Structure 1
Amino acid sequence: MIELLLNDITKIPVDAIVNAANTSLLGGGGVDGAIHKAGGKEILQECQKIRNKQGGCKVGEAVITSAGKLPAKFVIHTVGPVWNNGKHNEESLLSSAYKNSLKLASDNQILSISFPNISTGIYKFPKEKAAEIAIQTVLNFLTTTDKIEKVIFVCLDKENYNIYTKLLKQNNPL
């Protein structure tokens, strides 16, 4: 039910990939830029429509678009928190980003979903703490539904991959 890959999330054939977006939904650096670049202008156009309708996406929330040229059917855009010494509800907001992405997947009959390491790049969330939150939030959510058959954590770098490998062995879901 849970898999771990060391790979580029834009190359994973799943029903939905999760984009670590920013509140503007207009693309940016890191995984967000890579998803927009690989998926093409269709994703940006849909994000612009969402922005025009609701003014972007708040931290911890999630929205869904098609996947353009990606090997997925959908992109779920979620906004993780910027790490600010852990004193501004960052852990809860990161958990909400994962939870709301999973809820959107469940509501849209998405059976397989892949997550990047949300907030651990330019948002500077401590990688081990972020991985603990990601894994625990996903495990907790999966106990409440049978609609999602597979969750894949996709790490672009070896450091995150090693952290997830260790934590997943401790939690035994693999």
Structure 2
Amino acid sequence: MNQAEKRAFLIKRLLNEDRRYRGMEIPADAYAQKRMLRSLMNIRRPQAIDAEFLTVQDEYLRQEIKDAGITRLADLEPVCGDFYLWQGDITRLQCGAIVNAANSGMTGCYVPCHACIDNCIHTFAGVQLRLDCAELMERQGHEEPTGQAKITKAYNLPCDYVLHTVGPIVDGRVTPEDERLLASCYRSCLELAGQNGVESIAFCCISTGVFHFPNQRAAEIAVETVQKFKTETGSEMKVIFNVFKDLDLEIYRRLLTENRSSES
């Protein structure tokens, strides 16, 4: 099967899985088909599915990611020491682990085609990731506390692992507790990555965006926390600060350049 045939197969299987959608017409346009497939994956509850579906899905997603272009850690130049800065889609980054800004339910975003990182990561990892996360949460028996982290396989993403962490939600002015919890997100991810032999980790801008943590202060806490962890532990883990917005690119570039100047 080519990509179009695989996409049609996956859509049909997901439509037939839920009686509410059986018989729904599949659009002819490739872009509309891609949105339909993503939407069906986004709203699907965590549950097992047969090996044939997973084989086709995995081949399809890996080709989509390859066609979009994979960025490898070796392609990047460090800004200072073991710190890297990269602007782009974190699902296209090949490194040891990427960090997902999750919600307390930890099973991904259920809003069809939502632009959040949680949605993107679960979409391109494949349906296995949501089931993995659901099983983790069932064993835990309660929602994920803010500031902690979980690790899963990355499935079809080019990285090896995904680290899921729940950042603080800011309501009005940033409090010392908000800052402590955000720092804990970074520290928890680094500790968990180290325990699993991860040699490189890519952090998204945790808690900014819909969680309303101010970008400048969030970046300061991120850099400070990672630097403190590396100093205290002697870790040689390479750290990529992944940004999407131009604003965050400017903030991190300034902070890391200042960090480089202070070390020289």
Q: Does 1:32 align with 2:118?
A: yes
Question: Which of 1 and 2 has greater Rg?
Answer: 2
* TM-superposed deviation, 1:146: 4.0
* TM-superposed deviation, 1:157: 1.2
Structure with the bigger percentage of strand: 1
Q: Does 1:112 align with 2:200?
A: yes
8 Å contact 1:110–1:147 — kept in the other structure? no
Give the CA RMSD over aligned residues: 1.5
* TM-superposed deviation, 1:26: 1.5
Which of residues 190, 194, 197 is equivalent to 1:102?
A: 190
Could you say which residue in structure 1 is the equivalent of 2:159? Answer: 72
Which of residues 150, 154, 160 is equivalent to 1:63?
A: 150
Could you say which residue in structure 1 is the equivalent of 2:102? Answer: 21
Give the Cα separation in 2 of the matches to 1:99 and 1:15: 16
Q: Does 1:145 align with 2:233?
A: yes
Q: Does 1:49 align with 2:103?
A: no
Structure with the bigger percentage of helix: 2
Give the Cα separation in 2 of the matches to 1:89 and 1:17: 25
Unpaired stretches in structure 1, ≥5 consecutive residues:
none
Give the Cα separation in 2 of the matches to 1:110 and 1:66: 12
Give the Cα separation in 1 of the matches to 2:179 and 2:235: 26
Give the Cα separation in 2 of the matches to 1:70 and 1:56: 25
Give the Cα separation in 2 of the matches to 1:13 and 1:86: 33
8 Å contact 1:41–1:68 — kept in the other structure? no
Q: Does 1:135 align with 2:216?
A: no
Unpaired stretches in structure 2, ≥5 consecutive residues:
1-81
8 Å contact 1:109–1:147 — kept in the other structure? no
Could you say which residue in structure 2 is the equivalent of 1:83? Answer: 170
Q: How many residues align?
A: 174
Tell me which of the two structures has the higher relative contact order, counting C-alpha pairs closer than 8 angstroms and 6 or more residues apart.
1
TM-score scaled to structure 2, two decimals? Answer: 0.64
CA 133–88 in structure 1, closer or farther in 2 if over 3 Å, else same: closer
1:94-151 Cα deviation digits (max 9, x unpaired) = 0000000000001110000000000001001000000000000000111123444310
Give the Cα separation in 2 of the matches to 1:87 and 1:129: 11
Give the Cα separation in 2 of the matches to 1:170 and 1:88: 24
Q: Does 1:154 align with 2:154?
A: no
TM-score scaled to structure 1, two decimals? Answer: 0.95
Give the Cα separation in 2 of the matches to 1:88 and 1:82: 13
* TM-superposed deviation, 1:38: 1.1
* TM-superposed deviation, 1:88: 6.5
CA 148–20 in structure 1, closer or farther in 2 if over 3 Å, else same: farther
SS at 1:77 equivalent: strand
* TM-superposed deviation, 1:170: 1.1
CA 10–148 in structure 1, closer or farther in 2 if over 3 Å, else same: farther
The answer to which of 87-96 and 129-138 deviates more is 87-96
